[in-house]
Structure 1
Amino acid sequence: MAAVVAGMVIQSTPVSFGAVGTPMIVGVGTGVEPLTQITNLSSFIFEVATKVATLHFIAGLLIPLFLVGILTKFFGKNKSFSEGLKVWKFALFAAFAMTIPYIIVAYLLGPEFPALLGGLIGLAIVIPAAQKGFLMPKEEDVWDFEEKDRWDPTWTGRVELKNSEIYAGKISMWRAWAPYVLIAAFLLISRLTVVGDWLKSATIVVPNIFGTDISSSWEILFSPGFIFILVAVITYVMHGMKPSDFGRAWKASGKTIIGLVIWTIAIYIIATNNKRLDAIGGKKKSA
């Protein structure tokens, strides 16, 4: 329960730029384009993204401290929010380590990179600092969970933690981080004008979907999904994975994707149907 709560709270800062900027590029872009006469949609999305990044930067400064307070309040022996405030120095340092690169990247590179690069840069700064005890609380102020046998049963529910059989052995730190760094590097390279124009040349267009005036296009090589797949294949070689382990990872990912595809198609059908009803209603009003 604590892990889920922590993940949800800490994700509030990068959420608008998650999935390589999809909420901005796809959400704002496709939502605004049919309704306005914006001449330069890319510039408009960039402007919206920078304003959103500024708001997240302001709110994000207190998110780590707020998160620690939630842990001490709801999962601590004394149920005290103030216990979490004892780590305020390190919490603020951790916040700035992520949010400053985050907002700089938003203004310089656009909506695809703030969460990705902000998080990577923040980790690179915070982890070594924590290991050296920088701004860490005094020993008497260190907080931890109680022994597991004293946990509230609702914290774990039916989840059973056990060792994974997939683990194949230790790998070096650089190989562990390499996939994330490669994703960031390939995304940056793909967004260069010359490279991006070449990648966009491979595009699949599906016109008049289901007999409507709605069309869709997929820039295969320019899509962030392609880069994720490419890095996954490179990781398979780099980590010396077994084919069975690689296949198991694809199978697990496939199950998640199938569920999302079903949900997306259902939403798309509803949206298309509503658009038709609106069109019919408009014709009746005109008549």
Structure 2
Amino acid sequence: MASTTIWRGLGVLDDKREIKFPDENVGIIGGTDRSYVSQLAGAISFESVEATFEQLPHILEAGVKLVGTGVADGAGSGKIYAYPFPTTALNTIKTYTIEGGDNQQAEEMEYAFVDSFKLSGNPGEALMMDAQWIGRQVINTTFTGAISIPTVEEILFTKSKLYIDAVGGTLGTTLVSDTLLGFEFSVKTGIIPKLTANGQLYFGVHQFTMPEILLKLTYEHNTSAVTEKTAWRNQTPRQLRLAIEGSALGTPGTTYTYKTLRIDLAGKYEKFDPLGEQDGNDVLACTLRARYNSTAALFAALTICNELASIP
């Protein structure tokens, strides 16, 4: 399958085929060169790179849900891509063909999906994203030609807004100002390759297991942080929204005026570290585990508004 876009980051295809040398006693001290390929597989790590409104959706399409085409935001130029994690019904994901290599040899991996990914942010920097992909096999190929390098816009941490509300309230109501100093949103998608008797050495299908979603946060040690630490001690469920805006859309829409990334989740804090320091100032680091809350009717979801009509 021909590629349709260029990933603006780093990564190298890894051929994961398994080679076996059978144990045998045939009178040869060093053993014979009898061997066989027991299964085919491939992988690639999309190394940590600045997250963008235009290319983060590739990770979400292959790790959360196939959306493909953006939903118009009223009469605005923004297109909305919503990626809710499954609760009662499974999502369909998009599988990719990934090409890589150099001027000596190109390779490709088919039927690739995301095993895990991370988004992280720190003051004065762009958000960083990385992803681990699994595929059926790695084979030699030639690069798809005539693909333009996509235009992208970085998602900047200092444009973030943190909202924390009770699960009985409305998500995105209570802005927690001047408190968030950094975060790491990590996801194990729960999507696994399934080897079956299908006449091929590579896996035929993927299956879904329970995802794991953690949000690590670093708070300024202020009144808001103390409130959240109390919620941890009491195991009070919380709903959080991280909203990060970019440049203005060409035409404002009903919901969005700017390019936007939203991370929404419900859950409970599972850990607060001892009081720490950053630049000589007291901080609190903590971890919130996302779990479905029936009152909020929320598990976790990411939403992106950009100006792409579809994900290439």
Q: TM over 0.5, yes or no?
A: no
Structure with the bigger percentage of strand: 2
- TM-score normalised to structure 2 length: 0.20
Greater per-residue helix proportion:
1
The structure showing larger relative contact order (alpha-carbon pairs under 8 Å, at least 6 residues apart) is 2
TM-score scaled to structure 1, two decimals? 0.21
